[in-house]
Structure 1
Amino acid sequence: MATITVFESITLDGVIQAPGRADEDTRGGFTHGGWALPFQDEVAMRFAGEGLSAGGALLFGHRTYDDLLGFWTTTPDPNPFTGVLVQSPKYVVSRGRDSSPELAYPNSTRLTGEAGDTVAALKRDVDGAITVLGSAELTRALFAAGLVDELVLLVHPLVLGSGTTLFEHARVELELRRCVPTTTGVVIAEYSVR
């Protein structure tokens, strides 16, 4: 059985929308894209790199898959993420609206249907670690279905006041396992889900 870890950059008011780029996700008129960039430092980059290099599979919603892989596969070398993202097994949850038969990147498998059902089957049928990157809607569905085992939050010292948040109406009890401060005020918190 697999272990599912959710990895998110988040503001103090819970926003996870578009941390990386101004044009990453403007849905709902969101104008704060790229909010995490000023807080990047060597500590956070090393932490993310260690997590990705540990191996395991990646799990995405279809929109995040297209955006994240599209960005990192067109970013000039060297960067610490492209090789891992391309080579890792990737699972992409899709409700079946996308009619394209092939996913754009190698080592990718589509999970068609509702996330609670398809990811529960995946978790039961594979071994090892599965990491969810971004994918707010998928993440909420996984929490609602009780499928998340671990949560890693990069908590940024910032309040945006608008945007997609990680939790809507879910109660989630967490146990802190590790906390790593960065030089820019970001706190990296690793939790196990109770």
Structure 2
Amino acid sequence: MRIVVINHVTLDGVMQGPGRSDEDTRDGFAHGGWAAERAGDEAVTREWGRRLSAGSGYLLGRRTYQDVLAYWNTQDSPFRDALDNAPKYVASSTLTEPLPWPHSTLLGGDVPSAVAELRNTPGGDLHIMGSGALIRSLTPLGLIDEFVLCVHPVVLGTGRRLFAEGFASTAFHLTDATPTATGIVIAGYRPRLPHA
């Protein structure tokens, strides 16, 4: 399996709370819902649908897992059944089994080793949405195969960033870039291997 990050980010790299004003208010973040203005972007919807329908499931951090569960299970949406039926691997040191969402597996203990083991399993892509701490822990170890970022034409100046200050220097190859009618750029990146 490949591990693929698929996330919304601002021009200044903020990934916190893109969907709803109350999605993630940690540290007094008051800009939640910043991606909602462009929520109907057909190119983004198509790309996310294409990516997520071809995948083998999700790899999520605890916070994202709990937020996605709490929100999408209250919505009458085609995403609800798809999310319920997909395998979900949850990285957490605080959750315990059984997990509340169907087809969920807890990855406790040595999460990087568990993710490395998943990568060696045949199958489609495991997608990471949100889950900034998980992404930041796996990237320096070479456990992320691709980043698909929907870069929104907005600068927030504050908020949790995809790659926070102090993150290890990492180079990427651009594999694809598609500008959309609303100004979003859908960009695919692969981490450059140290020997490449």
Q: What TM-score, normalized by structure 1, do the two folds share?
A: 0.92
Q: Does 1:135 align with 2:131?
A: yes
Does the Cα contact within 8 Å between 1:14 and 1:166 map onto a contact in 2?
yes
Instruction: Report what 2:26 is aligned to.
Output: 27
Does the Cα contact within 8 Å between 2:175 and 2:190 map onto a contact in 1?
yes
Instruction: Report what 1:70 is aligned to.
Output: 70
Does the Cα contact within 8 Å between 1:17 and 1:164 map onto a contact in 2?
yes
Instruction: Report what 1:176 is aligned to.
Output: 174
Distance 2:172 2:86 in 1: 28
Q: Does 1:17 align with 2:16?
A: yes
Q: Which runs of 5+ in 2 are unaligned?
A: none
* Residues 37-96 of structure 1: per-residue CA shift (max 9 Å, x gap): 0022122112111111113121000110111122112112xx34222211111100012x
Identity fraction in percent: 47
Distance 1:112 1:51 in 2: 27
Cα distance change on mapping 1:114 and 1:160 into 2, 3 Å: farther
Aligned-residue CA RMSD (Å) = 1.4
Does the Cα contact within 8 Å between 1:49 and 1:80 map onto a contact in 2?
no
Distance 2:7 2:103 in 1: 23
Instruction: Report what 2:5 is aligned to.
Output: 6
Distance 1:126 1:23 in 2: 38
Does the Cα contact within 8 Å between 2:10 and 2:152 map onto a contact in 1?
yes
Partner amino acid, structure 1, of 2:111: A
Q: Which runs of 5+ in 1 are unaligned?
A: none
Instruction: Report what 2:107 is aligned to.
Output: 111
- Structure 1 runs, 4 residues or longer, greater than 6 Å off: none
Distance 1:165 1:51 in 2: 23
Structure 2 residue corresponding to 1:102, chosen from 83, 98, 101: 98
Q: What TM-score, normalized by structure 2, do the two folds share?
A: 0.91
Does the Cα contact within 8 Å between 2:54 and 2:124 map onto a contact in 1?
no
Instruction: Report what 1:193 is aligned to.
Output: 191
- SS of 1:81's equivalent in the other structure is helix
* Residues 93-125 of structure 1: per-residue CA shift (max 9 Å, x gap): 012x23x43111111100002432322232234
Q: How many residues align?
A: 189
- SS of 1:191's equivalent in the other structure is strand
Instruction: Report what 2:38 is aligned to.
Output: 39
